[in-house]
Structure 1
Amino acid sequence: MDSSFPLQPRCPAVVAVFLETTSAWPDLKEIVFVIQSQSNSFHAKKAEQLKQSILKQSAALTQEMPAVLLLHQLAQQEGAWTILPLLPHFSVMYSRNSSWIFFCEEETRIQIVQLLETLRRYDPSKEWFLGKALHDEESTIIHHYAFSENPTVFKYPDLAAGWALSIPLVNKLTKRLKSESLKSDFTIDLKHEIALYIWDGGNGLPLTPVPEFCTDVVGSACATSLQSSLPLCGNPVKKEDIFVAVKTCKKFHGDRIPIVKQTWAGQAGHLEYYSDYADSSIPTVDLGIPNTDRGHCGKTFAILERFLNHSHDKIPWLVIVDDDTLISISRLRHLLSCYDAREPVFLGERYGYGLGTGGYSYVTGGGGMVFSREAIRRLLASKCRCYSNDAPDDMVLGMCFSGLGIPVTHSPLFHQARPVDYPKDFLSHQVPVSFHKHWNIDPVKVYFTWLAPGEEDRAREQSRRGLREEL
């Protein structure tokens, strides 16, 4: 049994009180639970465990069972993970007999009794957008510098804590979606973009903060919480089973490569620097691809070909990073223990392009792109290639994998931007794997603050080892 999810509410007395006062609470059948799941085997299993936890807690309350949906099973369309395209489906299927659509992630822990107690405070006949509120401390590129005069005024939900839409709001948003198409070409930060859409420039609804939607357990009143951001899946992958490719160019040899070597390079079992110039002092490998100021598709595909066909034939994992990416190889090794390299895995921070009009998802390159050997084999066998050497490599890869039916596997632990670009409350419940960019920061300090192995990592590994022995 996976200990990540409690199968019963914390206290039998709470259930007894609930059963005595059930008329004052919403019926469970009025809540539609939507788990923001993924089709990768590890994530699908985690989502199914959460579903069973919800159903077992519900059964203890002797009510009619709620609907519990897994997002990756709802629709075949590429953009289902962005939620908004699915609202018309929710409106048609559930508006007659339901009051709430409650969204949660695979790692969200839910206490059903406390959730019902929380939701009863809100009149379900009105429009509600409920969640744990986050805000930007300063304007950030990942939100297109929105609310730059006062970034703290705009609140958006921490999806890991769970968030809810009342059915009247779902119906209103559905009408809007039918009358006007989604405007943004790119999906970069889902939680912020959903809140922006619902807010509608001040004509819609702001987020209502709900203190019972938690990421850390701060008391028995919490309806939701998180246990851990790094999953438990056995022994970490050996560092010799991961090959790290660093994309660089001659003009950055002098300032960026020394930072890589000062910080994370020593954790890697296999590492090569790929450049437009062979520098024996580093050393770098010249792939014969000229450097470009735009995308680096030609260079990235040359790395993939070299990895698959010319060397490293027994290494199961390839990681491609920029020369200004900061990454924790030790945490990546633990994370990869949850994935099967025999499957086609394409892992990192997921972005979307044109998802409202039949586009595709992709792993944004700056946070690091992780490939299983099988994913690379299928990609190169497909003949899908760059339309030019300076095409955006991450987007072309997303387009190719989408055409092959290989989904992006998303992890929020990879970051395209710097720590200052994310809310402190959001990062506080993460064990991050990567950050990107050196703008206006001390990258060495950022690495040792956020990513370097420390006592906490060692203690976490020991506790997990003890838990494995108990299991």
Structure 2
Amino acid sequence: MVVVAEFCQRQHWEPIVLKRVDVIPKNSGKNAERNLELKEIIFVIQSQSQYFHKKKAEDLKENILKQAAGISKEPPRVLYLHEVMKNEGAWTILPVIPHFADSYGNSSSWIFFCEEDTTVRLQKLLDTLQTFDKSKNWFLGKALHDEESTIIHHYAFAENPSVFKYPDFAAGWALSMPLVKRLAYVLKNEPPNSDFTIDLKHEIALYIWQKADGQALTPVPAFCTYNPDSTKATNCATTFNGSLPLCGNPVNKDDIFVAIKTCRKFHKDRIPVVKKTWEKDAVHFEYYSDYADDTIPTVDLGIPNVERGHCGKTFAILERFLRSTTPRTYWLIIVDDDTLISLSRLRKLLSCYDPNESIFLGERYGYGLGARGYSYITGGGGMVFSRKMVRKILNSKCRCYSNDAPDDMVLGMCASGLGIPVIHSPLFHQARPMDYPSDYLSHQVPISFHKYWNIDPVKVYYTWLIPEDKEDLRANKHLREDL
């Protein structure tokens, strides 16, 4: 029997049992219709509206259309996901599936999704899709699976996590139009019932499996995440540039202020880890606690400690950041005392963003996006604010409804109310490295991880968030793809 744990409320999971559904064997491809044309493929780039991300999506679209001009007289449609529908939850994809079915159901055979940094080799992709019967239901991608049951997937399939496969978005993934139409019908009658969107790729695969008679992901070897220049990528239809973004010089250390949230009971356990790892890379930083300890030192913000949420403390940090009591910097980073972060990598990433814009950056989650909800940056992986964003939040009427309200979610509501989209980076992580498939992390240069539970956090830091000189060696030689 397969057991799936489904999210019931924030930080509470209650297991439910799903009925086992035997997957009907699918067409092997030998008799597949092979008259697929480029114009039958809808390319959807999982884009974001912020300039840096939109520019990458535009470059990818231009490259796809340039390749198409040498293959066919009729080019494919290439869409930006953030422009498909004016919907806060469009990035979660399922809400726009009915739109794809209604708008392209009679003229297209495939919807192919990819990320901004995915490289598409168009002829190889066309040849790959030709091997599948476009009149059948297909869910194609590079398969990932959990190596152990994990909190980020609500401990789904706890008896055997590896049995359930879900797509690595970086390699691209595809839905045949018959499956799109079927999902559209289901979605109109049974919208997803989970309040939270945490790991989209897993949640989409689970929804398809549950609602389409056990439709499983079909692994496609040609969908790859090797570096485009790798010899391993020769037969790949897709590849992925997993190098750390860098747009000019890294942000100066003096331009970043780091706020570490802690409390008295963790002073002896957690703060020594921060001091052994990443604190040395910070020029401006303060520890914020419920107790002033001169040996660390910590700053008592006058906010009593609470067991969860910490919204009162976070807003006190935002207010202090704008006062003369802290150095005037362009950027504010708020982390937990059990967050492991590479500030040197973050400085490179921030070179791609304008601090004079309203920037709110990190790992994006969603709440209630099926019913006028909002996106938010999950706090454990680190929340990055431009000074302008902090000022906009505090100038608004958005505030905590209690000291123990979830700070990251309240800030997401604030951003949504201001009409400012949060910016997602998959390089920030709310959980530990072992909570993610190793194949998924192998094409990343991660910026952060969270939680010290059942790990040696110092070892994790020096394994995954290595200092600058080793990082450059690792990234330049693409060593991750050989892990």
TM-score of the aligned structures, taking structure 1 as reference length:
0.92
Counterpart check, 1:356 vs 2:366:
no
Counterpart check, 1:55 vs 2:55:
no
Query: Which residue of 1 is the match for residue 445 of structure 2?
Result: 431
Superposed CA offset, 1:380-412 (max 9, x none): 111210000110000000001000001110000
Query: Which residue of 2 is the match for residue 235 of structure 1?
Result: 249
* Alignment check: 8 A CA contact 1:37 1:72 kept: yes
Tell me the distance in 1 between the aligned counterparts of 2:475 and 2:169. Answer: 26
The CA deviation at 1:203 is 2.2
Query: Which residue of 2 is the match for residue 183 of structure 1?
Result: 193
Query: Which residue of 1 is the match for residue 427 of structure 2?
Result: 413
Tell me the distance in 2 between the aligned counterparts of 1:462 and 1:373. Answer: 32
Query: Which residue of 2 is the match for residue 321 of structure 1?
Result: 335
Structure 1 residue corresponding to 2:382, chosen from 364, 368, 371: 368
Tell me the distance in 1 between the aligned counterparts of 2:208 and 2:466. Answer: 38
Counterpart check, 1:146 vs 2:156:
yes
The CA deviation at 1:458 is 3.1
The CA deviation at 1:463 is 9.3
Counterpart check, 1:392 vs 2:406:
yes
Tell me the distance in 1 between the aligned counterparts of 2:336 and 2:221. Answer: 39
The CA deviation at 1:99 is 0.2
Tell me the distance in 2 between the aligned counterparts of 1:222 and 1:463. Answer: 20
Moved more, 312-321 or 438-447: 312-321
2:398 counterpart letter in structure 1: C
Superposed CA offset, 1:214-247 (max 9, x none): 0015232100001224113111101111100000
Structure 2 residue corresponding to 1:379, chosen from 387, 393, 404: 393
Superposed CA offset, 1:96-153 (max 9, x none): 0100000000000000010001000000100000000000000000000001100000
Structure 2 residue corresponding to 1:196, chosen from 178, 194, 206: 206
5 Å-filtered alignment, 1:45-84, equals 45-84=55-94
Query: Which residue of 1 is the match for residue 166 of structure 2?
Result: 156
Superposed CA offset, 1:173-230 (max 9, x none): 0010111121100000000000000001782300000000000152321000012241
- State percent identity of aligned pairs: 69
- Give the secondary structure class of the aligned counterpart of 1:355: coil
Tell me the distance in 1 between the aligned counterparts of 2:239 and 2:85. Answer: 27
Tell me the distance in 2 between the aligned counterparts of 1:313 and 1:132. Answer: 46
Counterpart check, 1:120 vs 2:130:
yes
1:369 counterpart letter in structure 2: M
Counterpart check, 1:213 vs 2:226:
no
Query: Which residue of 1 is the match for residue 19 of structure 2?
Result: none
* Alignment check: 8 A CA contact 2:105 2:177 kept: yes
* Alignment check: 8 A CA contact 1:71 1:81 kept: yes
Structure 1 residue corresponding to 2:316, chosen from 281, 286, 302: 302
Say which structure is richer in helix: 1
Tell me the distance in 2 between the aligned counterparts of 1:258 and 1:338. Answer: 32
Tell me the distance in 1 between the aligned counterparts of 2:461 and 2:35. Answer: 48
* Alignment check: 8 A CA contact 2:257 2:327 kept: no
How many residues align? The count is 442
The CA deviation at 1:285 is 0.3
1:160 counterpart letter in structure 2: A
Superposed CA offset, 1:291-329 (max 9, x none): 000210000000000001334463100000000000000
- Give the secondary structure class of the aligned counterpart of 1:106: coil
Structure 1 alignment gaps of length 5 or more: 1-22, 465-471
Moved more, 423-432 or 222-231: 222-231
- Give the secondary structure class of the aligned counterpart of 2:401: coil
Cα 1:304–1:100 change in 2 (3 A) is: same
- Give the secondary structure class of the aligned counterpart of 2:57: helix
Counterpart check, 1:172 vs 2:182:
yes
Superposed CA offset, 1:3-29 (max 9, x none): xxxxxxxxxxxxxxxxxxxx9552110
* Alignment check: 8 A CA contact 2:34 2:131 kept: no
1:90 counterpart letter in structure 2: F
Tell me the distance in 2 between the aligned counterparts of 1:428 and 1:167. Answer: 31
- Give the secondary structure class of the aligned counterpart of 2:245: coil
* Alignment check: 8 A CA contact 1:362 1:399 kept: yes
The CA deviation at 1:62 is 3.2
Cα 1:440–1:462 change in 2 (3 A) is: closer
RMSD value, Cα: 1.6
TM-score of the aligned structures, taking structure 2 as reference length:
0.89
Tell me the distance in 2 between the aligned counterparts of 1:461 and 1:213. Answer: 22
Counterpart check, 1:445 vs 2:459:
yes
Tell me the distance in 1 between the aligned counterparts of 2:474 and 2:168. Answer: 24
* Alignment check: 8 A CA contact 2:38 2:72 kept: no
Superposed CA offset, 1:418-439 (max 9, x none): 0000000000000000000011
Query: Which residue of 2 is the match for residue 273 of structure 1?
Result: 287
